[in-house]
Amino acid sequence: MTIINRQGMHARPAMQIVEISNRFKSGIKIRKGSMVVDAKSIMQVMTLEAVQGTVLVFEAEGADAGEALNALAQVVAEKFQED
């Protein structure tokens, strides 16, 4: 997924990612190049430094993995209700 909102993934969008991820039982990881972080940890998600245009790969593993990825894709596509 590409981060498309102008301000990038700053604290508020990052918290949205973390909150959505924590609604699901699946383990969820976010990959940026060779870097991998736990999508359920705000401390880790904020180290992605995801500016506008950054490509992030979301990976979920578990019974509700599909649902989780759909929810995450939606919030990214909606620019976290910004712009």
Partner 1 sequence: MKFQDFICRKALIANLEATTTRGVLEEMVAALVKAGKLSESMHKGVLDTLTSREKKATTGFGNGVAIPHVKHKAVTELIGVVARSSAGVDFAALDGKPVYIFFLLLSPPDKPAEHLKAMENIFRNAQKEHWRRFLQQADSAEAIWELLVEADEEAIV
Question: Counting contacts by CB under 8 A, is residue 49 touching partner 1?
Answer: yes
Binding region for partner 1 (CB under 8 A) out of 25-33, 47-55, 58-66, 68-76: 47-55
Question: Counting contacts by CB under 8 A, is residue 20 touching partner 1?
Answer: no
Please state, as a whole number, how many other Cβ atoms lie within 10 Å of the Cβ of residue 12: 11
Structure tokens at 81: 């209700």
Q: How far is the CB of 63 from partner 1 (least distance, A)?
A: 26
* Cβ proximity of 22 and 44 under 8 Å: no
Active site residue 10: yes
- Dihedral in degrees, nearest 10, Cα atoms 18, 71, 34, 47: -30
The contact set with partner 1 (CB under 8 A) reads 6-12, 15, 42-44, 46-52
